[in-house]
Amino acid sequence: RPVKPRAADSEAWELAPLELLEPARFALEMYNRGRAAGKRAMLGAVRGRVRRAGEGSLYSLEATLEETPCNDPTVCQLPVSKKTLLCSFEILDELGKHILLRRDCGPVDTKVTDNRNWTLNSFLPLLNKDSFPQDFSVKMTSVFKEFVTTYNRTYDSKEETQWRLTVFARNMVRAQKIQALDRGTAQYGVTKFSDLTEEEFHTIYLNPLLREKHSKMHPATSVNDP
């Protein structure tokens, strides 16, 4: 199969919500396969990227799925709480045919043992609720003030400060999700980059050129000596 020029092929693009719909629906369908009608999960937020090569596209999706653990209202204890899962899917779309290559789902709820001052334990319930608890903004404002002092941040206006607080709060939830999905011993939380949006962080600090194939050099000889 002829392959398009590399520049058009290899780049991984952040997708608009509409473009995600088809692969996300397919992922959900695969997740729900074999489940009774009342036990099927529903799609929450989705984001993802696509990498195109030739006539194929590989979608990497990150999605939240909502599951209702009890589907019989006559025996369920009310209110029935939803279970939120964070899933990663890799879906290959080749000539319109979808293939699920990878699926990793886990509940967005985990125990975190960070004894430092900036522990996120108090924000854990956020991940399983549709709205923030009432004292959320008070707690978050306090953590944000500590962040501003520690990292000597100054903002141009009150509006900018308010915006950064909002970004910071969102980031705390993101950090908690990342924490929940880490299988090592790493701890995630407040860092000097906590007031930057994901896009700002990527633009300022990261290096998209690394996704390009680097020029081949001689292979190093193996090290065999004891």
What distance in Å separates the CA atoms of residue 6 and residue 52, rounded to the nearest whole number? Answer: 10
Q: Which is nearer to another protein, 116 or 158 (CB)?
A: 116
* 72-80 long-range Cβ contacts below 8 angstroms, 24+ apart: 72/38
> Which residue among 102, 117, 129, 133 contacts another protein (CB under 8 A)?
102
In terms of Cβ atoms closer than 10 Å to its own Cβ (0-12, 13-18, 19+), residue 154 is: exposed
Query: Of 57-76, which residues contact another protein (CB under 8 A)?
Result: 58, 60, 62
Report the DSSP pairing between strands 83-94 and 42-53: unpaired
Does the footprint of another protein cover residue 14 (CB under 8 A)? no
Sheet holding 97-107, edge to edge: 12-14, 42-53, 56-67, 83-94, 97-107
Using CB under 8 A as the binding rule, whether residue 7 contacts another protein is answered as no
Work out whether 131 is an interface residue with another protein (CB under 8 A). no
Total residues binding another protein (CB under 8 A): 57
Mark the segment that binds another protein (CB under 8 A) among 38-46, 129-137, 159-167, 183-191.
Answer: 183-191
Among 2, 159, 186, 199, binds another protein (CB under 8 A): 186
* 137 alpha-carbon distance from chain centroid: 22
Question: Is residue 199 part of the contact set for another protein (CB under 8 A)?
Answer: no
Bridge partners of 43?
65
Using CA atoms, how far apart are residues 110 and 166, in angstroms rounded to an integer?
A: 24
Determine, following the binding rule CB under 8 A, whether residue 18 of this chain makes contact with another protein. Answer: no
User: What is the rounded CA–CA span in Å between residue 63 and residue 104?
Assistant: 10
Residue among 32, 57, 68, 88 that touches another protein (CB under 8 A):
88
Q: How far is the CB of 126 from another protein (least distance, A)?
A: 15
174: left (phi over 0), alpha (psi -120 to 50) or beta: alpha
Q: Is 49 in the site for another protein (CB under 8 A)?
A: yes
Whether residue 62 contacts residue 84, with contact meaning beta carbons closer than 8 Å, is answered with: no
Q: What's the token pair of residue 45?
A: 């937020």
Residue nearer to another protein on the CB measure, 81 or 160: 160
Instruction: Choose one: 22-30, 33-41, 154-162, 214-222; the region binding another protein (CB under 8 A).
Output: 214-222
Using CB under 8 A as the criterion, which residues of the chain lie in contact with another protein when the complex forms?
12, 49, 51, 58, 60, 62, 88-90, 102, 104, 106, 114, 116, 151, 171, 174-175, 178, 181-194, 196, 198, 201-212, 214-220, 222-223, 225
